[in-house]
Chain A
Amino acid sequence: MKYQNGRVAAILLATTIAGQAMAQEQTVTVVLSEELDVVEPCMASRSNIGRVVLQNIAETVTEIVPGSGLQPRLATSWEDMGGGTWRFTLREGVTFHDGSSFTAEDVAHSIARTTGDQIVCEIGAKFFGGIAITTDIVDEHTIDITADPAQPILPLLMSTMTVVPAETPMDSFVETPVGTGPYTFDEYNVGQNITLSHYENYWGDMPEVLSATYLFRSDSAVRSAMVATGEADIAPNIAVQDATDPATDYAYPNSETVYLRVDHEIAPLNDVRVREALNLAVDRQAFVGTVLADGTLLATGMTPPSTLGYNAELEPYGYDPDRARELLQEAAADGVAVDSSITLIGRTGNFGNVLETMEALLQMFQDVGFNMELQMFEVAEWENSYSRPFAEDRGPTLVAAQHDNANGDPVFSMYFKYASDGLQSGIQDPQLDDMIAAATAATGEEREQLWSDTFAYIHDEIVGDVMLFHMVGFSRVNPRLAFEPTIKTNSELQLAQISFN
Chain B
Amino acid sequence: MKSFLGKRAIASAISLIGLIVLVFFLSRLTGDPTALYLPVDASLESREQFRELHGLNDPLIVQFGTYVSDLVRFDFGDSIRRSEPALDAVLRAFAWTLQLALITMSLVIVTAVIVGSLAAFHVGGVFDRITTFFSLVGASAPDFWIAIVAIVLFSVNLGWVPTSGTGTLWHWILPVAVLFIRPFGLILQVVRGSMISVLGSAYVKTARAKGVRNRPIIFVHGLRNAMLPVITVIGDQAAALLNGAVVVETIFGFPGVGKLMIDSILQRDFSVVLAAIFVTAVAIFVMNILIDILYAVLDPRIRY
- Chain A residues close to B by CB (< 8 Å): 35, 37-38, 40, 45, 117, 119-120, 122, 124-126, 129-130, 172-173, 190-192, 215-219, 221-222, 225-226, 228-229, 231, 379-381, 383-384, 386-388, 401, 403, 412, 416, 423-424
Return the contact of A120 from the options B53, B81, B82, B93 (Cβ within 8 A): B53
Contact A120 B50 (CB under 8 A): yes
Q: Which single residue of chain A is at the shortest CB-CB distance from B52?
A: A117
Complex Cα gap A93–B89 (Å): 40
20 sample A-B contacts, Cβ–Cβ < 8 Å, listed by A number: A35-B255, A37-B82, A38-B83, A45-B39, A120-B46, A126-B39, A126-B41, A129-B43, A130-B45, A191-B92, A222-B253, A225-B156, A229-B155, A229-B162, A231-B162, A380-B35, A380-B268, A383-B40, A386-B40, A412-B41
Residue B58 CB within 8 A of the other chain: no
B55-76 vs A: 1/0 string, CB under 8 Å? 0000000000000000000000
Whether the Cβ atoms of A219 and B251 lie closer than 8 Å is yes
Task: Give the contacting residue for B164; candidates A40, A124, A130, A217; CB below 8 A.
Answer: A217
Question: When each residue 137-158 of chain B gets 1 if its CB lies under 8 Å from chain A and 0 otherwise, what string results?
Answer: 0000000000010011001100
Partner of B151, one of A225, A381, A387: A225
B38 within 8 A of partner (CB)? yes
**Do the beta carbons of A125 and B156 come within 8 Å of each other?**
no
Least CB separation from B33: chain A residue: A380
A424 near B40 (CB under 8 angstroms)?
yes
Which listed residue (B40, B83, B159, B167) contacts A387, Cβ 8 A? B40
- What chain A residues lie within 8 Å of B92 (beta carbons)? 190-191
How many Å from the CB of B36 to the closest CB on chain A?
6
Of the residues B34, B82, B152, contact of A225 by C-beta under 8 Å: B152
The CA of A124 and the CA of B89, in the complex, are separated in Å by 27
Contact B250 A219 (CB under 8 A): yes
A218 and B256 alpha carbons, distance in the complex (Å):
13
Given A37-B82, A126-B39, A225-B152, CB of A120 within 8 Å of CB of B44: no
Contacts of A423 in B (CB 8 A): 40-44
The answer to whether B40 touches A125, judged by C-beta atoms less than 8 angstroms apart, is no
Question: A360: shortest Cβ distance to chain B, in Å?
Answer: 24
Give bound CA distance, A40 to B166, whole Å: 25
Excluding A125-B42, A130-B45, 20 further A-B contacts by CB distance (< 8 Å) are: A37-B81, A120-B46, A122-B42, A124-B46, A126-B39, A129-B42, A129-B43, A130-B43, A190-B255, A191-B166, A192-B255, A225-B152, A231-B163, A231-B165, A380-B32, A380-B34, A387-B40, A403-B40, A423-B40, A423-B42
- Interface-centre pick from B32, B33, B156, B164 (highest chain A CB count, 10 A): B164
B51 to chain A, nearest CB (A): 10
What does the 1/0 interface line of B75-104 toward A look like (CB < 8 Å)? 000010111000001001100100000000
A471 to chain B, nearest CB (A): 16
Contact B35 A383 (CB under 8 A): yes
A412 — which chain B residues lie within 8 A by C-beta?
A: 41
Chain B: minimal CB distance from A185 (Å)? 16
Q: Which residue of B lies closest to A389 (CB)?
A: B44
Query: Residues of B with Cβ closer than 8 Å to A?
Result: 30-46, 49-50, 53, 79, 81-83, 89, 92-93, 96, 148, 151-152, 155-156, 159, 162-167, 250-253, 255, 268
Q: Give the interface centre of B53, B159, B163, B252 by most chain A CB atoms within 10 Å.
A: B163
**List of B residues within 8 angstroms of A221 by Cβ:** 148, 151
- Docked complex Cα distance between A416 and B251 (Å): 37
> Which residues of chain A come closer than 8 Å to B159, judged between CB atoms?
229
With a CB–CB cut-off of 8 A, which chain A residues contact B53? Answer: 119-120
Note all chain A residues with C-beta closer than 8 A to B89: 190
Chain A positions within 8 Å of B96 at CB level: 191
Specify the chain B residue showing the minimal Cβ separation from A192: B166
Please determine whether A129 and B46 come into contact, CB atoms closer than 8 angstroms: yes
A216 engages B41 (CB within 8 Å):
no
Cβ–Cβ < 8 Å partners of B268 in chain A: 380
Q: Top 10 A-B pairs ranked by shortest CB distance?
A: A191-B255, A129-B43, A383-B35, A125-B46, A125-B42, A126-B39, A380-B35, A37-B81, A217-B253, A120-B50
Which chain B residues lie closer than 8 Å to A190 at the CB level? 89, 92, 255
Contact A229:B41 (CB < 8 A) given known A124-B46, A191-B96? no
Given A37-B81, A190-B255, A215-B253, is A125 in contact with B163 using a C-beta cutoff of 8 Å? Answer: no
Which residue of chain B is the closest to A40 with respect to CB atoms?
B83
A374–B25 CA distance with the chains assembled, in angstroms = 30
Rounded to whole Å, the gap between the CB of A222 and the closest CB of chain B is 5
- Whether the pair A222, B82 counts as a contact (CB closer than 8 A) is no
CB contacts (< 8 Å) of A401 on chain B: these are 40
**How far is B34's CA from A40's CA once the two chains are assembled, in angstroms?**
18
A78 to B270: give the CA distance in the assembly, Å: 45
Q: Which residues of A contact B37 (CB under 8 A)?
A: 120
Q: Tell me whether A380 and B83 are in contact (CB under 8 A).
A: no
Give the residues in chain A near B45, CB-CB below 8 Å.
129-130
Q: Which of A130, A228, A229, A403 has the most CB of B within 10 A?
A: A229
Select from chain A the residue with minimum beta-carbon distance to B255. A191
In the assembled complex, the CB of B152 is this many whole angstroms from the nearest CB of chain A, namely 7
Cβ-defined partner of B42 (8 Å) among A119, A126, A228: A126
In the complex, what residues of B have CB within 8 A of residue A226's CB?
A: 163-164
- Decide: A120 and B38 in contact? CB cutoff 8 A: yes
Indicate if the CB atoms of B155 and A192 lie closer than 8 Å. Answer: no
The contact of A122 among B31, B39, B164, by CB within 8 Å, is B39
Structural contact, A379 and B255, CB atoms closer than 8 A: no
CB distance from A257 to the nearest CB of B (A): 13
Closest to A386 in B: B40
A228 to B156, CA, bound (A): 7
Q: How far is the CB of B43 from chain A (nearest CB, A)?
A: 3
**Residues on B with beta carbons closer than 8 Å to the beta carbon of A172:** 83
How many Å from the CB of A413 to the closest CB on chain B? 8
A225-B155, A229-B163, A231-B163 given; A125·B253 CB < 8 A: no
- Chain B's nearest CB lies how many Å from the CB of A131? 9
Q: Give the docked Cα–Cα distance between A129 and B35 (Å).
A: 15
Taking CB atoms, residues of chain A closer than 8 Å to B252 are 222
**Min CB–CB distance A279 → chain B (angstroms):** 23
Q: Is the CB of B38 within 8 A of A125?
A: yes
B40 CB contacts on chain A under 8 angstroms: 383, 386-387, 401, 403, 423-424
Contact residues in B for A225 (Cβ distance below 8 Å): 151-152, 155-156, 163
Cβ contacts under 8 Å, A424 to chain B: 40-41
**Chain B: CB-nearest residue to A130:** B43
Chain B's closest residue to A423 (CB) is B41
What residue of chain B has the Cβ atom nearest to residue A39's Cβ?
B83
Known: A38-B82, A126-B42, A222-B151. A215 touches B36 (CB 8 A): no
Measured between beta carbons, the chain A residues less than 8 angstroms from B166 are 191-192
| Minimum C-beta distance from A260 to chain B (A) | 15
* Contact between chains at B250 and A218 (CB < 8 Å): yes
A37, A190, A221, A401: which has the most chain B beta carbons within 10 Å?
A: A37
Return A99 CB to nearest CB of chain B, in Å.
26
CB neighbours (8 Å) of A229 from chain B are 155-156, 159, 162-163
Expressed in whole angstroms, the Cα–Cα distance for A381 and B35 within the complex equals 9
Q: Bound complex: CA of A277 vs CA of B110, how far in Å?
A: 68
